[in-house]
Structure 1
Amino acid sequence: MSMNYRLTLAHINDTHSHFDASLVRLKVQLGQRQFSLASHSGGYPRIAAQVQRLRAEAELNNQEMLFLHGGDSFHGTLFYSHFKGQANARVLDYLRPDAMVIGNHDIDDGNATLANFIAKVSFPVMAANMDLAREDLHKQPRLTPLANLLRFDNAAGIGQPLIKPFYDKQLAIIGITLDQMKRVARPDPDTEFLPAFDTVANTIKQLQQQGIRHIIVLSHLGYDMDKCMADAVDGISLIVGGHTHTLMGDFAEFGLPCVPYGEFINGVPVLQAGKHAEALGIADIAFDADGKVTQLNGSSCLMLDRHFMLSGDTPATEQDYRDATELLHQHSGILWDEQDEQLKELIDTEFHPALRSMEQQVIAMVPRTLAHTRLPSQRLPHGSEIAPLVSQSMYMAAREQLPNLDFALHNAGGVRQSLEQGEVTFADIMGRLLPFELPLVCYEIQGVHLKQVLESAINEATNNSVIGTGAGSFPYTHRLRYFYDGTQALGHRLVKLELLRDNGDWCEVIEQQSYIGVSTSYTTSGKEGYDALLQAQWQRSLTDITLPGAFIRMLSHDDIPLEPAIPMVNYISHRNS
């Protein structure tokens, strides 16, 4: 009789400190009419309730259970901005994940904040390709002494796996993170990140030599890279991922961008569960004795309010609400708002009081929702509606100190979400929209290098002829208008670049002429394709101005319209060559 190797898997990723449920908007078709359905989904108390239910069911059925976090717990709300990871440690330790991989935003504030977090949690935190061989022995806190950090083992030449009993076998989990970490985050200089695929492959070889065939890779590489890894590295049973906020499941009928759950690549399922703790991935998985997945049933699951709002061209009736409720009940990816009351009370009593004044401080009214997308799309051909306004705020704040300023330039990843219609609070800006308190930096740069910056950042964002670092590098500007044609040869894709003068005229940027710009300290350090900014003739940090602070100042001016101006982004799709 063959052994039944079944696993109940729950997984989250890119939760970004969203302890509370998040507002989501779905489209629902009821007969001939379409409605917008507004609800809240997820949050840690609802996730806790579902994970507890799954653990109880697995135990009742004598079935193994894992709960995994695909990285990026930090940043995103005031829970992180105010408590700097200590609230994350408290809440995540309550959830008791079996393992979490380190994401790029988990080390965005350097090693010390991450080390303090790891020291406070009882579960394994993983990054098999994090090399600490050269860690400074004199600094405090250090990562090397932390027993629950599973990292690169220099003596063995492999990543440290987490090995757990699995029926009459053993199951290994390898946590792997971005090998481009220094280009997208801010780890300490003494910390290296080794090639991800090679680290996974070498670790698997040693595990197989020990007779271990059931191998899960817990990844913070992103959806596309996970698929490449599944194709390129032999011996992986399953990949549970994060980084790209990819919602998996059948949610197209609700108007949500999604891909099929558990896509098989080279026989290896790839899983991810969206973002911001809005969804919980739940899968029932069967393996054979050699670690191959033979069956996978599951979905990312939204956890919605039982009482939601419907809006449309005509008012919704009671029957419409009943029909919408029935439609949601029938969907395999919809759960409801059961929550762990103890965790809810912990969040409400230990963390919310310190944030309440910021959550109640209204800065402005937004007349309509301003959408944020990192890349231009068919719906938004000029890209984000909110990112150019953020660039405008940087320009306005910096010009007070530098009257001859010419332009502002910001990366898409520095803006974290859309700005919803209605009241905007201090917490909305500092905690959610612009959670990175980055200083503004002015610089003088020649036109030739400015062109290189823009093309390089776009190429990186779209993986056009280069191996990019993600769509977050896509550039948004103020008073700088560019025309990019991705079908042209590398180095010739920025076909036009113009600067807006104070007299209202657009003038072509001249390669040998110098211009003065403002960006954040992140982009001026050459991250994510912005290397050419290091060619600046000078850089100067501005005093008392941060990115969110500049935007809050602009919102405080009643006479500044919160509408995107003339499009600065003119984009022809790339060719992926």
Structure 2
Amino acid sequence: MNYRLTLAHINDTHSHFDASLVRLKIQLNQTQFSLASHSGGYPRIAAQVQQLREQAAQQQQEMLFLHGGDSFHGTLFYSQFKGQANARVLDYLSPDAMVIGNHDIDDGNATLANFIAKVSFPVMAANMDLSAEAADKVGALAPLPNLLKFDNAQGIGQYLLKPFYNTQLAIIGVTLDQMKRVARPDADTEFLPAFETVANTIKHLKQQGVHHIIVLSHLGYEMDKHLAAEVDGISVIVGGHTHTLMGDFTEFGLPCVPYGETVNGVPVLQAGKHAEALGIAELEFDALGKVTQLSGSSCLMLDRHFLLSGDTAATEQDYRDATELLHQHPGILWDEQDEQLKAIIDHEFRPAVSSMEQQVLAMVPRTLAHTRLPSQRLPHGSEIAPLVSQSMFLAAREQLPSLHFALHNAGGVRQSLEQGQVTLGDIMGRLLPFDLPLVCYEIQGVHLKQVLESAINEATNNSVMGTGAGSFPYTHRLRYFYDGRQPMGERIVKLELLKDDGCWYEIVTEEYYVGVSTSYTTSGKEGYDALLNAEWQQSLEHVTLPGAFIRMLSHDDILLEPAMPTVNYISHRNS
């Protein structure tokens, strides 16, 4: 018997209810154009998923729609409604299951619990141990019936069983076991080893005669591949966390990897970020749950009317040729949308955010790119993160004149800052959506070196298994030189401080320096453990991360242009 499944999936949507601006490169008759369009958004996803459901029903074929985690944060729709708008919109989409991502628990258990209580679909984290959580506390997760967590009595993760032709299909949702290092769950919430939880749960399922097993993962692309290699019995992994776009989009200039890359016979799927793309896979399994056929792609959902720009003006024929090229690509869908869902967003949630979207704070003379890690195109890394660090420094120095430097993690900045007008909504909703307090501290030079090396090691998986590239450090008035080829403990080969006289001075190991970071990094998250060696820490009153940047934008003498590089990085992979 053939076991066929249509599988639609999204991940890391980060409250992007609306379509997002995307830029593609298009080659037409030896002329290269930049194509600007909008892609995705929940109303477009809803229309495509409904169409897939209808097609599957007509063909008497099973269909699933899954969310790979990180629904929260990212736009004003979250900043204003703290997950309640996400619950309303996602419940309309009606996924078969969603796994908990790190940003879904960034504001603690209660915010996540309020979300889960309002949705009708299962929310999963098979390795989340809530045995120590008090059931009567406000915002408890454990009592929620649609939360599938770790089952302490059986020693396995709770799973979802779905009828699947003449048998059953199981879905296991698993999230980061390093959650406490990257997010802010309540102290009574533990996360168990993900691989071990999946392996034990699969063993149990196999004993029950269940062989078709989907792992819904928020571990990230590389970890998903390791999971596929190390744990037998998985049919397919549907992932998230690393914003990995799968499909063949190289001709459009988009970074991507092949769709459904197979490891140990297990396809690994992911669909980019920000609801820009919908993954659509057609799968066929054998009776033992092994995938025998897979076709599909992540699919962009583009405006039918787009903008072409280049060295020469685009003609009508260029637009026709571009449209034909897009129509022929298997990863391009169009802008059909669910009007009812659009009306819900427009009427119930948009009025509260529209005034912030319209409040212009500044003009950006050119796009300031954000990348978490340095690259060949951006050898000193992000252009916007150092400016965010500068804003932290300026805001903190008003209260603490002895301040020496600012230090911020790359993951605290969420995207590039596009050329043109910058609104309050751009900052609060998209660029800096985490409303984190600023914390000053005094730290010895030796520990400051440790912080920087540890954060970079974590970001690049250099001799350690890191938590993702978000830990990479960006600074203001602190200039470091990192050589990843050196032994651990010796990779910061030079560290300098810019003083008020305009000169750079070597950091002295025994001396003490005063810095400012967010409450996230000063709590030792993501490789910033050495900040816990500070002599003291002091939260600043009435200053948050986005607030500091907004305040800097109001200064007439501040130029929104790339700062003098403070990141000098040599990768261990270049050797």
| Aligned residue number for residue 128 of structure 2 | 130
Q: 1:121 aligns with which of 119, 122, 132?
A: 119
Instruction: Provide the secondary structure at the position in 1 that maps to 2:287.
Output: coil
What CA distance in whole angstroms lies between the structure 1 residues aligned with 2:66 and 2:380? 37
Give 1:141 shift. Answer: 2.1
Instruction: Provide the secondary structure at the position in 2 that maps to 1:456.
Output: helix
Instruction: Provide the secondary structure at the position in 2 that maps to 1:489.
Output: coil
Give 1:137 shift. Answer: 3.2
8 A contact 1:465–1:576 mirrored in 2 = no
What CA distance in whole angstroms lies between the structure 2 residues aligned with 1:434 and 1:574? 30
User: One-letter code of the match for 2:21?
Assistant: L
1:426-485 deviation line (CA, Å, top 9, x unaligned): 000000000000000000000000000000000000000001000000000000000000
| Aligned residue number for residue 74 of structure 1 | 72
| Aligned residue number for residue 473 of structure 1 | 471
8 A contact 2:246–2:258 mirrored in 1 = yes
1:81-116 deviation line (CA, Å, top 9, x unaligned): 000000000000000000000000000000000000
User: One-letter code of the match for 1:60?
Assistant: Q
- Are residues 1:452 and 2:471 paired? no
- Are residues 1:35 and 2:14 paired? no
Instruction: Provide the secondary structure at the position in 1 that maps to 2:233.
Output: coil
Give the 5 Å matches for 1:254-403. 254-403=252-401
**Matched residues, percent identical?**
84
What CA distance in whole angstroms lies between the structure 1 residues aligned with 2:439 and 2:98? 34
What CA distance in whole angstroms lies between the structure 1 residues aligned with 2:375 and 2:23? 19
What CA distance in whole angstroms lies between the structure 2 residues aligned with 1:143 and 1:525? 24
| Aligned residue number for residue 150 of structure 2 | 152
Instruction: Provide the secondary structure at the position in 1 that maps to 2:161.
Output: strand
Give 1:564 shift. Answer: 1.6
What CA distance in whole angstroms lies between the structure 2 residues aligned with 1:26 and 1:556? 33
1:502-527 deviation line (CA, Å, top 9, x unaligned): 00110000000000000000000000
What CA distance in whole angstroms lies between the structure 2 residues aligned with 1:33 and 1:409? 43
Instruction: Provide the secondary structure at the position in 1 that maps to 2:527.
Output: coil
1:18-49 deviation line (CA, Å, top 9, x unaligned): 00000000000011110110000000000000
Where does the alignment leave 5 or more consecutive residues of structure 1 unmatched?
none
8 A contact 2:46–2:93 mirrored in 1 = yes
Q: 2:9 aligns with which of 11, 29, 33?
A: 11
What CA distance in whole angstroms lies between the structure 2 residues aligned with 1:402 and 1:141? 37
What CA distance in whole angstroms lies between the structure 1 residues aligned with 2:429 and 2:573? 36
| Aligned residue number for residue 572 of structure 2 | 574
8 A contact 2:135–2:143 mirrored in 1 = no
| Aligned residue number for residue 492 of structure 1 | 490
| Aligned residue number for residue 232 of structure 1 | 230
What CA distance in whole angstroms lies between the structure 2 residues aligned with 1:233 and 1:574? 29
User: One-letter code of the match for 2:555?
Assistant: H
Give 1:378 shift. Answer: 0.4
Deviates more, 1:474-483 or 1:134-143: 134-143
1:513-550 deviation line (CA, Å, top 9, x unaligned): 00000000000000000000000000000001000000
- Are residues 1:141 and 2:142 paired? no
| Aligned residue number for residue 185 of structure 2 | 187
- Are residues 1:86 and 2:84 paired? yes
1:195-235 deviation line (CA, Å, top 9, x unaligned): 00000000000000000000000000000000000000000
User: One-letter code of the match for 2:401?
Assistant: P
1:392-427 deviation line (CA, Å, top 9, x unaligned): 000000000011110000000000000000011000
Instruction: Provide the secondary structure at the position in 1 that maps to 2:494.
Output: strand
Instruction: Provide the secondary structure at the position in 2 that maps to 1:552.
Output: helix
8 A contact 1:463–1:576 mirrored in 2 = no
Deviates more, 1:105-114 or 1:548-557: 548-557
User: One-letter code of the match for 1:82?
Assistant: Q
Give 1:305 shift. Answer: 0.3
| Aligned residue number for residue 164 of structure 1 | 162
Give 1:144 shift. Answer: 1.0
Q: Report the TM-score when normalising by structure 1.
A: 0.99
1:357-397 deviation line (CA, Å, top 9, x unaligned): 10100000101110000000000000000000000000000
1:254-296 deviation line (CA, Å, top 9, x unaligned): 0000000000000000000000000000010000000000000
What CA distance in whole angstroms lies between the structure 2 residues aligned with 1:536 and 1:144? 36
> 1:124/1:327 Cα in 2 relative to 1: closer, same or farther (>3 Å)?
same
What CA distance in whole angstroms lies between the structure 2 residues aligned with 1:241 and 1:546? 32
What CA distance in whole angstroms lies between the structure 2 residues aligned with 1:565 and 1:120? 45
User: One-letter code of the match for 1:427?
Assistant: G
What CA distance in whole angstroms lies between the structure 1 residues aligned with 2:553 and 2:401? 21
User: One-letter code of the match for 1:526?
Assistant: G
| Aligned residue number for residue 524 of structure 2 | 526
| Aligned residue number for residue 535 of structure 1 | 533
User: One-letter code of the match for 2:17?
Assistant: F
| Aligned residue number for residue 439 of structure 2 | 441
Instruction: Provide the secondary structure at the position in 1 that maps to 2:318.
Output: helix
1:31-72 deviation line (CA, Å, top 9, x unaligned): 111011000000000000000000000000000000000000
- Are residues 1:45 and 2:43 paired? yes
8 A contact 1:464–1:576 mirrored in 2 = no
8 A contact 1:73–1:105 mirrored in 2 = yes
What CA distance in whole angstroms lies between the structure 2 residues aligned with 1:537 and 1:569? 26
Instruction: Provide the secondary structure at the position in 2 that maps to 1:200.
Output: helix
What CA distance in whole angstroms lies between the structure 2 residues aligned with 1:318 and 1:561? 39
> 1:36/1:576 Cα in 2 relative to 1: closer, same or farther (>3 Å)?
closer
User: One-letter code of the match for 1:30?
Assistant: L
Q: 2:56 aligns with which of 58, 62, 75?
A: 58
User: One-letter code of the match for 2:84?
Assistant: Q
Give 1:569 shift. Answer: 0.3
Q: Report the TM-score when normalising by structure 2.
A: 0.99
8 A contact 2:174–2:215 mirrored in 1 = yes
What CA distance in whole angstroms lies between the structure 2 residues aligned with 1:91 and 1:575? 43
User: One-letter code of the match for 1:506?
Assistant: W
What CA distance in whole angstroms lies between the structure 1 residues aligned with 2:204 and 2:107? 34
> 1:429/1:501 Cα in 2 relative to 1: closer, same or farther (>3 Å)?
same
User: One-letter code of the match for 1:431?
Assistant: G
Computed over aligned residues only, the root mean square deviation of the Cα atoms, in angstroms, reads 0.8
8 A contact 2:124–2:149 mirrored in 1 = yes
Instruction: Provide the secondary structure at the position in 2 that maps to 1:400.
Output: helix
Instruction: Provide the secondary structure at the position in 2 that maps to 1:409.
Output: strand
Give 1:555 shift. Answer: 1.0
Instruction: Provide the secondary structure at the position in 2 that maps to 1:356.
Output: helix
Count of residues in Structure 1 that have an aligned counterpart in Structure 2: 575
What CA distance in whole angstroms lies between the structure 1 residues aligned with 2:574 and 2:536? 34
Deviates more, 1:297-306 or 1:560-569: 560-569
What CA distance in whole angstroms lies between the structure 2 residues aligned with 1:105 and 1:566? 32
- Are residues 1:553 and 2:540 paired? no
Q: 2:423 aligns with which of 422, 425, 431?
A: 425
User: One-letter code of the match for 1:517?
Assistant: G
Give 1:576 shift. Answer: 9.7
Instruction: Provide the secondary structure at the position in 2 that maps to 1:217.
Output: strand
| Aligned residue number for residue 102 of structure 1 | 100
What CA distance in whole angstroms lies between the structure 1 residues aligned with 2:560 and 2:425? 18
| Aligned residue number for residue 206 of structure 1 | 204
Where does the alignment leave 5 or more consecutive residues of structure 2 unmatched?
none
